Amino acid sequence: MKSAEENIQYAITAKNLTKTFGDFTAVDHISFNIKQGEIFGFLGANGAGKTTAMRMLCGLSTPSSGEATVAGFDVFTQPESIKKSIGYMSQKFSLYEDLTVMENIRFYAGIYGLSDKDIKEKSAHLLKQLHLDHEKDKLVGSLPLGWKQKLSFSIALIHEPKIVFLDEPTGGVDPLTRREFWEMIYEASQRGTTLFVTTHYMDEAEYCHRVSIMVDGRIAAIGTPTELKKQFAAESMNDVFLQLARQATRQAD
Amino acid sequence: MKSIAVKNLSKSFVNGKETVEAVKPLSFEIDKAELFGFIGPDGAGKTTLLRMLTTLILADTGTATVDGFDVVNDYKEIRKRVGYMPGKFSLYQDLSVQENLEFFATIFQTTVKENYHLIKDIYDQLAPFADRPAGKLSGGMKQKLALCCALIHKPTVLFLDEPTTGVDAVSRKEFWEMLKRLKEQGITILVSTPYMDEASLCDRVALMQDGKFLRIDTPSQIIKNYSKTLLAVKGKEMFPLLQKLKQTEGIEMAYPFGEYHHIVLQKDTISIDHIQSQLQGIQEIEIKSTVPDIEDCFIYAMQNN
Amino acid sequence: MKEQFLAFVKKEWFHIWRDKKTLFILFGLPIVQILIFGFALTNEIKNSRIAIVDQSKDETSQRLIDRIATSRYFDIEEFLKSGDEADAAFKRGKVKLVIIIPENFGSSLKHTNHGAIQVIADASDPNTASTLTSYIQAIAGDFQMDLNQGKKLPYTIVPEVRMLYNPQLKGAYNFVPGVMAMVLMLICTLMTSIAIVKEKETGTMEVLLVSPLKPILVIFAKSTPYLFLSLINITSILLLSVFVLGLPIAGSIFLLVALSLLFTITSLSLGMLISTITDSQQTAMLISLMGLFLPTIMLSGFMFPIENMPLPLKIISNVVPAKWYYFIVKAVMIKGVGLKIIWKEALVLTLMTVGFLGLSIKNYKVRLAIK
């Protein structure tokens, strides 16, 4: 067991984290330590075990064995504390399309326990940043996808969590918005937020401080993009990924 | 005769109180055996366009023909001869691979045997799973099965709506290789995709955004027609570098592009040195000229739309 | 086209067989319903607990009490000492009825030709109370006739009651036709509409449209398996009724099955119609259950007699197909009538079927309806 001090130093720690379903091992003894303020890219093909691993870290699923801490809290014994300290955004889980921008902000801010005064302040700031002040009473469903994603991200950060989990946040979005989104991620990282991102776009892997690639439930590679390209004698992260993916034996579901 | 001919085709939808122009009046033509890509993000209008061409929805304005048949008046003819793979997986989850294939063959009044040669390459990979329920296949396998079912009646035109979305990188590559081989069989193929890198695999592409074509040409021609000077910049601290670049004189656009940032110069006459001189204080700086990618072309076209 | 149709029907069978949960409902439901209604639920009230206050304690009162005791409707729970204890007995919930036989019951009858018994019923459940009271009255009336045997009485009108077709007043006679209507409606309308809409929801309909398949084949092919399922269900219900519940079939079995098939087709076409007006399985289910199933139970005459309903509801009940079918089943199964008598009802069902089918075909969208 790590000392509490060590755990607090790292935003996320994992040691031999494993999840099995019957005799199927979805996540096979993964280990890593993520520092505060790091942008960590969590890559892997569909079915490699990414989603399962993320669920464990978010406190949504109990690991079968191993250890992990998020924001200093133990994933086995303190999942509720974890949930309170993190932000989460996913392409699939989104905002309520039939509520307005403002209503969505108020709702989620309320869920995270922000006071009315805080909500007022933060929402004004948020809307200004995203240039959505004139759209605040518009139904989210009527916004273009790119704006929805950016709004969703901002809302995930509204309670200023130390760690944010982003699950394929830029899927299907136009190239400009994608980049604007990553600029928002950068800014959050500058402010000290740790970002744990999964993505299909290999060029986005380059924007991360460090990257891990999961294959068949195990971490097949972990390091900075530069280190990995050197290690695999590859021109781009895409090449690194293809090399590793080809070795995969597990069929995605 | 052109495989597909479109004139002034448009479609709007009413969403609550607002009207959305999903497809603004478009005109274009596609040759036989052409591998044509609609590249664009979600909401660009790709699915709506494909649905109009496959006779599933009626356009508000304009006309379109597929194989010479009108999409409105001769829709029955078109439905007999085209293959269609819609966005989400649309086969029967509780039927096996084999059962799905046989079903669609019968619906198209043919047999699996008759056109097996067309799908053999693809089906060989599926054959070991012939009795598995389609719902239990991996994403890549599902797409392959859907492709087989769309091909089993030897269509003259194949419409694929985002066939590689959500599929792993290896399967994506394999999928496009299959499309290339089909093209050689004389089948016209229309594909829509949000992945810019797939654009270079097509004969011609249309870059689509907000219901409009930003560009329509061969990939190499689109890149050739990129009129601005593009530079790649790298530094020790990428994010502060980006912020600095956005404020640097002479730079029209600066955006991240993987390992390097790309910057679009306002004028060709601006030199690399001029830019470098403004970036004092950035450690380990590296600037070089670079050839634009389809994505650079898309971004620039979007910005100036 | 024939191959297309058969391929489609084959596919539908796979869907149905591979969905174990729904399969259980489709086959299990009718059997469960029949058994529940046949044995557990019944309009008859048996073995009701009552209390008796016998203040007379003579031979006549004893004979009356014996009568009541041997009746299957009553169980004498206790003998109270006086009417005052009745209130407490009711409040304790132990009895539903109290009978008070006054003093000198026997001698009053003999000498004054007049005897009264007091019947106090717990009317917090008014239906039960009135039923029990009428049972008592019937028993009393019987008793009276026995006492009067051989005596000469001035013009007495004695109604001779015969319960036709169902002399034992078995509740099953009412429920089996009702269950048949309910089950067929549930399976055919609900399942068919959901099955068709499911294609729209999962996106397979898109692919089917862009094919040479005549769109109309879809809804017919989807309904066909349920037609066969219904035949099996009709058979199992009838077998259960006859052999387990002891309910005979008075009329022609052939006619009964034929008309049941007609009703099946009516329900199927109703299911088809529903599927053409919605794209969501949930909505299809809601419409089938709330919009059809519930009114069917309430307005078909199954649960509540139509004769008792206010006029507007009576009129509406004519639109409910199950009403006509329920009538037909009772007529053929219990009264044993032939086609000559019920041809009108059969015609109504036929017309309804044609109407629903016509509308379904007309409504069927050859393109996607995108909002």
Q: Which residues of chain B have pLDDT under 70?
A: none
- Residues in chain B closer than 8 A to C14 (CB atoms): 94-95, 99
Q: Which pLDDT value is given to residue C309?
A: 83
In C, minimum Cα distance to B48 occurs at C370
Find how far residue C354's CA is from the centre of its chain. Answer: 26
Q: Which chains touch A (3 or more CB pairs under 8 A)?
A: B
- Examine the pLDDT at C263 and tell me if it is beyond 60: yes
Cα separation, C116 vs C56, whole angstroms: 12
Once rounded to an integer, what is the mean pLDDT over residues C17-36?
81
Q: How much of chain A exceeds pLDDT 70, in percent?
A: 94
- For an interface test with B, the pick among A94, A142, A168, A179 (most B C-beta atoms closer than 10 Å) comes out as A179
DSSP A58: T
Q: What backbone torsions phi and psi does residue A26 show, to the nearest 5 degrees?
A: -80, -45
Alpha carbon C33 to chain centroid distance?
Answer: 10
Residues whose CB falls within 8 Å of the CB of residue B253, separated by 6 or more in sequence, listed in order? B262, B263, B264, B299, B300, B303
Please say whether the beta carbons of C328 and C264 come within 8 A. Answer: no
Tens digits of residue pLDDT in C100-140: 888 888 888 888 777 788 888 888 777 778 888 888 888 88
**Which residues in chain C are contacts of B88 at CB distance < 8 A?**
203
Element (H, E) at A182: helix A175-190
Question: How many whole angstroms separate alpha carbon C118 and alpha carbon A76?
Answer: 73
Q: Which of C206, C209, C279 to mutate to test the interface with B (most CBs of B within 10 A)?
A: C206
Q: Cα dist. C272→C71, C213, C222, C281, C318 in Å?
A: 51, 18, 9, 13, 21
Instruction: Find residue B263's DSSP bridge partners.
Output: B231, B254
pLDDT band at C244 (very low <50, low <70, confident <90, very high): confident
Least confident stretch, A98-102, B280-284, C254-258: B280-284
Query: What pLDDT, on the 0 to 100 scale, is given for residue C174?
Result: 72
What pLDDT was estimated at residue B50? 95
Chain C partners within 8 Å of B104 (Cβ)? 207, 211
Q: Give the pLDDT score at B31.
A: 95
Nearest residue of B to residue C198 by CA position? B92
Mean pLDDT of C25-49: 76
B75 to chain C: closest CA residue: C210
In whole angstroms, give the CA distance from residue B231 to residue B264.
7
Tell whether the model's pLDDT for residue C241 goes beyond 60: yes
Q: Give percent of chain C with pLDDT exceeding 90.
A: 8
Question: What is the rounded distance in angstroms from the CA atom of residue A15 to the CA atom of residue A32?
Answer: 7
Cβ of C203 within 8 Å of Cβ of B90? The answer is: yes
Chain B contact probe: residue of C201, C210, C368 with most B CBs at under 10 A? C210
Å from A172 to nearest chain B CA?
Answer: 5
Contact B106 C7 (CB under 8 A): yes
Give chain A positions within 8 Å (CB) of B302. 174-176
SS3 per residue for B238-251: HHHHHHHHHCCCCE
pLDDT classification of A253: cutoffs 50, 70, 90: very low
Of C209, C213, C367, which has the smallest distance from its Cβ to B58's Cβ?
Answer: C367
Interface contact B257-A203, CB threshold 8 A? yes
What mean pLDDT is reported for chain C? 83
Q: Rg of chain C's alpha carbons, rounded to an integer?
A: 28
pLDDT at residue C318 in the model = 86
| Residue of chain A with shortest Cα separation from B138 | A253
Question: Pairing relation of β-strands B204-209 and B35-39?
Answer: parallel
Predicted confidence band at C167 (pLDDT cuts at 50, 70, 90)? low
Measured CB to CB, residues of chain C less than 8 Å from chain B are: 3-4, 7-8, 10-11, 14-15, 18-19, 202-204, 206-213, 366-368, 370-371
Cα B98 from Cα B112, distance rounded (Å): 10
Distance from the A195 Cα atom to the nearest Cα atom in chain B, whole angstroms: 15
Confidence of residue C371 (pLDDT cuts 50, 70, 90): very low
Most confident stretch, B103-117, C148-162, C277-291: B103-117
Of the ranges A62-66, C91-95, C362-366, which one carries the lowest mean pLDDT score? C91-95
Residues A190-221 pLDDT 10s: 999 999 998 878 888 999 999 999 888 899 99
How many angstroms separate the CA of residue C271 from the nearest CA in chain B? 22
Which of the residue ranges B118-132, C157-171, C357-371 would you say has the lowest mean pLDDT?
C157-171
Residue whose entry in the numeric block shows the structure tokens 């790292």: A10
B255/A contact by beta carbon, under 8 A: yes
B302 lies within 8 A of chain A by CB: yes
- Asked whether the predicted pLDDT for residue C43 surpasses 70, the reply is no
Contact B99 C14 (CB under 8 A): yes
Instruction: Report the pLDDT value the prediction gives residue A249, as an integer from 0 to 100.
Output: 62
**Which pLDDT belongs to residue A250?**
58
Calculate how close chain B gets to C7, using CA atoms only, in Å.
6
Span C54-73, mean pLDDT?
Answer: 88
* Angle between helices A175-190 and A145-156 in degrees, nearest 10: 10
What is the CB-side half-sphere exposure of residue A169 using CA atoms within 13 A? 31
Chosen for mutation from B168, B170, B196 (greatest number of chain A CBs closer than 10 Å) is B168
Torsion of CA C51, C56, C60, C66, to 10 degrees: 20
Is the pLDDT assigned to residue A4 strictly greater than 60?
Answer: no
Beta-carbon contacts of residue C255 (< 8 Å; ≥ 6 apart): C332, C338, C339
3-class SS of residue B83? strand
Predicted confidence band of residue A63 (pLDDT cuts 50, 70, 90): very high
Q: Any idea what the Cα angle at residue A110 is, between residues A107 and A113, rounded to 5°?
A: 160
- Those chains having 3 or more beta-carbon pairs within 8 angstroms of chain B are A, C
Q: Which chains touch C (3 or more CB pairs under 8 A)?
A: B
Query: pTM of the predicted model, to two decimals?
Result: 0.82
Q: Is C110 helix (H, G, I), strand (E, B) or coil?
A: helix
Per-residue model confidence (pLDDT) at position A12 = 94
Most C CBs within 10 Å: which of B79, B96, B102, B112, as the mutation test of the C interface? B79
- pLDDT band at C188; cut points 50, 70, 90: confident
Checking if the pLDDT of A163 tops 80, the result is yes
- Tell me if there are at least 3 CB pairs under 8 Å linking chains C and B: yes
Asked whether the beta carbons of C326 and C302 are under 8 A apart, the reply is: yes
Closest residue in B to A182 (Cα) is B256
The residue-averaged pLDDT of C78-106 equals 85
**Cβ of C207 and B84 within 8 Å?**
yes
Closest CA to A197 of A47, A82, A91, A76: A91
Six-digit token string for B211? 């219901």
The letter for the amino acid at B220 is: S
Determine the pLDDT at residue A252. 47
| Residue of B54, B88, B92 lying closest to C11 (CB–CB) | B92
**C-alpha to C-alpha distances, C14 to A1, A178, B127, C10, C11, nearest whole angstrom:** 54, 44, 21, 7, 5
Whole-angstrom Cα distance, residue B145 to residue B138? Answer: 11
